[in-house]
Amino acid sequence: VLVGCSRKKDKFLSRNFHAITAEYNTLFNGRQAFEQGRDALIEGYQDNFWAILPIERLDSPDFIPLPGAAKDPSFERAEEKATKAIQKHSMEINGTERNPQIDEAFMLLGKSRYYDLRFVRALEAFNYILSYYPASNNIAQAKIWKAKTNLRLEKTKIAIESLHKLLEEEDALDRQDFADASAMLAQGYIYEDRLDSALVYIEKAAFLTRKSEEKGRYYFIKGQLYDVIGENQLANANYDKVIDLNRRSPPRYMINAYINKIRNFNYETQDQEQLFELLTDLEENRENRPYLDIIQHQFAEFYRNVGREDSAVSYYNKSIASQGEDKYLTSRNYLSLGDLNFNNSEYIIAGAYYDSTLTNLNENSKKFRIFTRKRENLERGSFYTDYKIAKDFVNDLDFSKNQL
């Protein structure tokens, strides 16, 4: 039977043997490896909630991989299985592929290379599907992944144009394909700083996606975009959608949705007692222990805004003591403590806190360089014997947390 299942014979037995073997043996193992690698990447990814979240969690490479070199063993195994399926089970006869699983193998090959940060090689696989498998049911996904890859290669305009063409084929897309394409189009517009356009497509993606994790992420990003353009009420409405998802979406989105709503709180017109009760509930909820650092920081901001500096200092220190992984948050805590001491003419103590601020900032960032210059100016100002002059001198430096 095996002898009769030649890859060069376009017969029913041959086609089914190679299709079934490719799908349930080689490709099955490859997909398992791919899912393991992607899940590990997503779980280990540290989102920066101080900036607009990326649509997709994928670290930028710290190095350029050598040709053929893989960064993650799971993706390397997935690529090997996809390659094996193509080499051993492809049935290209008279210029036509007779094995319906080979386009699946090329999709797995491209996605594995994409997540392994080899974008040019990934593009080759997606282009191969688009060129040689025009009737494939993976065409829409291949176009979406090609656009994603072009975004990574900083070919933003090309990616946006191709995604618009794809969305014009609305009848050919299923609901999730439409959501995926809309999400990546939103990412392209964010890269182009065209936030109004990004809002249109992130809304479509959030509404259409069937995945609760994506829905929570997309509505959170939409809230962030509204915050950037100054539409706080619309931002809060989207944060409420994240909160309403509750356990259907990861808790990190819900907690940060609460935090961003609190940052939009108007202390002059809104109920401060209600805000205090909300912060207390968030702090006392045992499920929120992994997020105590950001909750306590926001509690400190509350006390500072209502004029209770001693309580603010206590909560800034609690947030620091929580020892979370967010170094930027730690820098904000130290900066706030430095500002409070500076305003009370405790310049030496303030300087120490500003030094701690610097140690928690990325040395290669613009924020680090700006703050370093300001810290040096404070050091020069501290030589004044007349502290009134010193205070007037340093006040001109604008030690504002907005500089971070």
Please tell me which residue, 63 or 235, carries the higher pLDDT value. 235
Question: Cα–Cα distance between 157 and 150 in angstroms, integer?
Answer: 9
Task: Output the pTM of the full model.
Answer: 0.83
The band of 180, judged by pLDDT with boundaries at 50, 70 and 90, is very high
DSSP 60: P
Angle subtended by helix axes 347-359 and 387-395, to nearest 10: 30
The vertex-179 CA angle with 174 and 182, nearest 5°, equals: 125
What pLDDT does 25 receive? 60
- pLDDT above 80 for 1: no
CA gap 248, 48 in Å, rounded: 21
Q: How many CB atoms neighbour CB 245 within 10 A? A: 18
- Residue 242 in contact with residue 220, Cβ under 8 Å? yes
Neighbours of 324 (CB within 10 A): 17
Cβ burial, residue 135 (10 Å; 0-12/13-18/19+): exposed
Q: Buried (b) or exposed (e) across 31-49, using 16+ Cβ within 10 A?
A: bebbebbbeebeeeeebeb
Q: What is the mean pLDDT of the chain?
A: 83
What pLDDT score was predicted for residue 165? Answer: 94
pLDDT at 351: 81
How many residues make up the chain in this entry? 404
Residue range 189-213, pLDDT digits in tens: 999 999 999 999 999 999 999 999 9
Those residues whose C-beta lies under 8 Å from the C-beta of residue 86, and which sit 6 or more positions away, are 102, 105, 106, 109
Give the residue among 209, 210, 248, 206 at the shortest CA–CA distance from 225: 206
